[in-house]
């Protein structure tokens, strides 16, 4: 029988924080299968106990985030009384801050998702990333907080959207040998330009898998070593000319690459 971790994500809001924590933990056990059952908007005692009973019946691990009332304390007490494995993410931290600063928490579930100015800034940044994806309009390079350059399949678009969720306006440009680089690129502060590169073998395999996904032969000019080397050389020469930061994305996650970019630009990775 395959070993499986059964996570029960219980929250008085959408549960994204608890789910991300569970996924981060699960990533440390790649040989184990993982199943996630989510109980969002659990804001009544009866709902909490129902979710915990389900977790016990399935030999599950509960990861919960409660901001409203004392649901966290009640969940912990119920879990202890019924031998349920539960990890309350919010309550201990909120209590520590409340004690230290003599401040009561708002008790509002999902406060991080409030439709405040920060929220609308993020939506605007996402719209910007979509509008100026793949160099659709060179004028976007001048208005962007960050400009990403890279050959095909170096994670420009997903990285643009990830950074947009940090309220950063990002434009990106695919690099193709012998193609004209927009004049606007040379007008951008090099500190705001990030050159993305990767290992040739990784890029070749990435492109082969892309062709297979399209139902095409993986052995094409697009994935050939000669073509890959030519594109990477072209990109590296441009990066040297611009004097911009270069990041190899071959063995980095989107999150890792984004953190390097934000640190390079002197941005507060946590607050943003």
Distance CA 144, CA 188 (A): 9
Q: Is 198 annotated as a binding residue?
A: no
Question: What does the DSSP 8-state code read for residue 39?
Answer: E
How does pLDDT run across 3-38, given as a tens digit for each residue? 999 999 999 998 988 999 999 999 999 999 999 999
For helices 71-81 and 91-101, angle between their N-to-C axes, nearest 10 degrees: 130
Contacts of 115 (CB under 8 A, 6+ apart): none
pLDDT exceeds cutoff 80 at 232: yes
- End-to-end, the C-alpha distance of the chain in Å comes to 44
Distance CA 193, CA 160 (A): 12
The model carries a pTM of 0.68
Beta-sheet pairing, 61-65 with 33-39 = unpaired
Q: Is 157 annotated as a binding residue?
A: yes
Per-residue pLDDT, 267: 77
Domains of the chain: 4-113 (3.40.50), 117-264 (3.40.50)
Q: Is 160 annotated as a binding residue?
A: no
How does pLDDT run across 98-144, given as a tens digit for each residue? 899 998 887 776 555 555 677 788 889 999 999 999 999 999 999 99
Q: Is 152 annotated as a binding residue?
A: yes
200 within 8 A of 225, measured Cβ to Cβ: yes
Q: Is 11 annotated as a binding residue?
A: no
Q: In what order do the strands lie in the sheet with 85-88?
A: 33-39, 4-11, 61-65, 85-88
User: Pick from 151, 138, 147: which is nearest to 182 by CA?
Assistant: 138
Q: Is 131 annotated as a binding residue?
A: no
| Strand ranges for the chain from DSSP E | 4-11, 33-39, 61-65, 85-88, 146-150, 170-174, 193-197, 245-248
Q: Is 34 helix (H, G, I), strand (E, B) or coil?
A: strand
């Amino acid at each position: 029988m395959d070993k499986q971790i059964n996570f029960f994500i219980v929250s008085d809001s959408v549960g994204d924080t608890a789910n991300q924590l569970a996924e981060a933990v699960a990533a440390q056990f790649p040989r184990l299968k993982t199943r996630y059952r989510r109980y969002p908007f659990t804001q009544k005692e009866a709902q909490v106990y129902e979710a915990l009973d389900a977790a016990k019946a399935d030999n599950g691990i509960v990861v919960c985030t409660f901001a409203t009332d004392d649901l966290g304390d009640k969940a912990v007490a119920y879990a202890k009384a019924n031998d349920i494995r539960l990890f309350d993410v919010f309550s201990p931290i909120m209590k520590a801050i409340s004690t230290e600063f003599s401040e009561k928490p708002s008790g509002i579930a999902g406060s991080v998702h409030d439709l405040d100015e920060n929220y609308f800034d993020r939506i605007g940044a996402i719209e910007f990333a979509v509008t100026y994806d793949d160099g659709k309009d060179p004028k976007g390079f001048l208005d962007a907080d960050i400009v990403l350059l890279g050959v095909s399949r170096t994670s420009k678009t997903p990285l643009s959207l990830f950074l947009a969720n940090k309220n950063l306006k990002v434009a990106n440009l695919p690099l193709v040998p012998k193609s004209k680089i927009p004049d606007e690129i040379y007008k951008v502060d090099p500190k705001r330009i990030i050159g993305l590169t990767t290992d040739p073998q990784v890029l070749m395999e990435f492109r082969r898998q892309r062709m297979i996904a399209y139902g095409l032969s993986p052995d094409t000019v697009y994935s050939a070593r000669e073509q890959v080397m030519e594109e990477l050389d072209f990109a590296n020469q441009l990066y040297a000319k611009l004097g911009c930061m270069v990041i190899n994305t071959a063995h980095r996650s989107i999150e890792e690459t984004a953190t390097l970019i934000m640190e390079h630009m002197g941005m507060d990775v946590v607050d943003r």
